[in-house]
Structures are given as C-alpha cells and as structure tokens.
Amino acid sequence: MQRRQWLSAAALTATGLCLPPVWAQNKVTRIIVPYGPGGPIDVTARVLAERLKDSVGTVVIENKPGAGGNIGVDLVAKAPADGLTLGIAAVATHAINPWLFSKMPFDAAKDFAPISQLVRVPNVLVMNADAAKRLNIHSLADLVAYAKANPAKLNFGSGGNGSAGHLAGELFKARAGIFALHIPYNGGNPAQLALLSGQVDFNFDNLATAAPNIRSGRLKALAVTTLQRSAALPDAPTIAETYKGFEVDTWWGLIAPAGTPRDVVQKLNAAVTEALASPEVKARFAALMADPAPTSADQFGQFMAAERAKYGPVVKASGARVD
C-alpha cells in the first residue's frame, strides 16, 4: 500500500497536478513585510498569502519594520535560499534607499532573486481644496503658472527626506521649471494632515491614502503620476500628458534570497500570477486603489534595475540623505 501511494504521488507530481511544491510540503513559507501592519503593503501581502496556501502550503506574514524598510529586506537577503523565506521589495527599498543611505546592509541588485511584481499604485498631486480655490488653481497648468508668477511662495510636504513623495515633488519641479520649498514630515499621515490644515500647499500622495479626502472635497486632485490615467480617478490627467515620460509609481513585489533555485522561483511566479488573476484578489486590491501587476521573474528584475537608475539622479539632485 505504501508503495502504491508513493507511486500515485509521483505520478501526480510528474503530470503537474495539484500537489504543493516539494520545498513547501509540511513546512511553513514566510513572507517578510519590511513595514508595520495595517498599511497597503501589509494588507496586500496578507491577501496574497491567503491565495498562495493552495499552491505552496501554509504562508505566514512577518512584519519587520525599520530603517525605511531596510531591516526587513536585509533579513530576506540573509535567509537560506530554500524558497521558504520570501519578502516584499518596494520602490523605497530597491530603488530609492540604495541612493539615500550612505551604507546599505544589502545589495539591492545582487542579493535577491526577483519572483514577480505584485502591485502598482498611482500617486496623485493634490492641493488643499480651500487653498486651490483661494489661489485660483484648478489644474496642473494653473499650478505651474502660479509658481512661475510667484517664485518662492509655494511649498509642498512629504513623508520625509528621500520619500517617494519628496522625490516626485523634486522631479516635478525640475520638469516644470518651478520652485517650491520642500517641508518633510515624519511619515505620510503627518504630511497629509499638514496639507489638510493648510500648512503646505500641495503634496504628492499615494492615491489609496488621498482618495477619501478627494471624494469628500477636502483635497483637489490636479494630476496623477502614472503614464496612463487611473480608472479610480479618470478625470485627473497624468503629469505625463504635459511633461512627457513623467512617471512616479508606488510599487512592490515578491523576492527571495539570491541563489534560490530557478525552478522554485518559476513555481512561485506561477503561483503568484494565478493568485493575482483571482477576482477576489482583484476586488480586494481595487479597494486599496492598487492594480495587480504580475510579471515574469526576469521582467521584475529588469524593472527594479530601471527604477534604481531613474531615482539615482533624482536623489542626488535633491540632496536628500538619511545617514
């Protein structure tokens, strides 16, 4: 009987039917999220973990925040390359931090095996609605015209020096040929509160975070930072419609330690792609204004390399440093 059961399992494996991958049988796969619980990255990781259990067995989420995401990602880099420890790579950890920190605990280009991009979330240029009305700014063109006619009178907030919001603002200023004073805050929420209270004139915020205040009329959306308009905010033009090629997305994806066997990466990629195609996952991501963005492992690696190349000059021009 035992021999027949073994042969049956081997036959199922050979035909590619629904046996969990060998590396995950009777073991637990962990996904390290390098940020605290409750945010969009954490929520989407937990949604993904629920869907992956049918393909790879039990999946647990471990939140390891700190140092702009570097602490959690470093744990991934130094984990055994056996497919049982995965992590989330984000625009901060794998595109911005390598230029922002004078010393990194890992090499973003060499210490990881990309699995798949997971999500892209538009950022949005928003103004305090009352301030926009008072200054007669109703569009991106109005904002640029006001800034040029009133040099050094505008400011913008962000979640900190070197944050995606800060760098989006610096890139926008450079492309538009305007000046606005950057005011860093200790996180995205304080920056949004500063905008809502009128302490700053505009922000580049994550659409998922800004959407409730846009709907309520407290914030005015002038443009989104993706190349295409957002289905969640179809009336807002893209900055790229005025400044060709302008693109600053919030994104994250799944990675493993470097040296993870290629067949394990491919099986994980297939499982992630299937999970992201699920109507349930799409619906839950849509509630966060997040678009599923599955890629091949190679495509995700190439994308992260291109993002690092893009942000290097922006960080240097901004003068932002963390340490």
Is 323 inside a domain boundary? no
Where do we find the tokens 């990466």? 265
> At which of 223, 241, 259 does a domain end?
241
| Strand, helix or coil for residue 86 | strand
Q: 99 and 6, same structural domain?
A: yes
> At which of 214, 241, 268 does a domain end?
241
Q: 138 and 32, same structural domain?
A: no
> At which of 182, 210, 241 does a domain end?
241
Q: 267 and 184, same structural domain?
A: no
For residue 173, the enclosing domain spans 123-241
Grade residue 17 by pLDDT with cuts at 50, 70 and 90: very low
**Sequence-separated (6 or more) residues with CB below 8 Å from residue 219:** 126, 127, 128, 129, 195, 196, 210, 213
DSSP notation for 195-260? HHTTSSSEEEEEHHHHHHHHHHTSEEEEEESSSS--TTSTTSPBGGGTSTT----EEEEEEEETT-
Grade residue 189 by pLDDT with cuts at 50, 70 and 90: confident
The two three-digit tokens of residue 54, written as one number: 């049918």
Domain count, the chain: 2
Alpha carbon distance 166, 24 (integer Å): 41
**pTM attached to this predicted model:** 0.83
Q: Write out pLDDT tens, residues 201-213.
A: 999 998 888 989 9
151, 177 contact by CB (below 8 A) = no
Alpha carbon distance 210, 230 (integer Å): 13
Is 162 inside a domain boundary? yes
Alpha carbon distance 96, 163 (integer Å): 8
> What's 52's domain CATH number?
3.40.190.150
pLDDT for 19 beyond 60: no
> What's 158's domain CATH number?
3.40.190.10
Q: 198 and 162, same structural domain?
A: yes
Q: Which of 74, 80, 42 is nearest to 61 (CA)?
A: 42
* pLDDT confidence of residue 302: 98
Tell me the average pLDDT across 133-137. 95
Is 97 inside a domain boundary? yes
Q: 225 and 166, same structural domain?
A: yes
Q: How many CA atoms lie within 13 A of 178 on its CB side?
A: 24
* pLDDT confidence of residue 121: 87
Give the angle 7-12-17 at the CA atoms, nearest 5°: 170
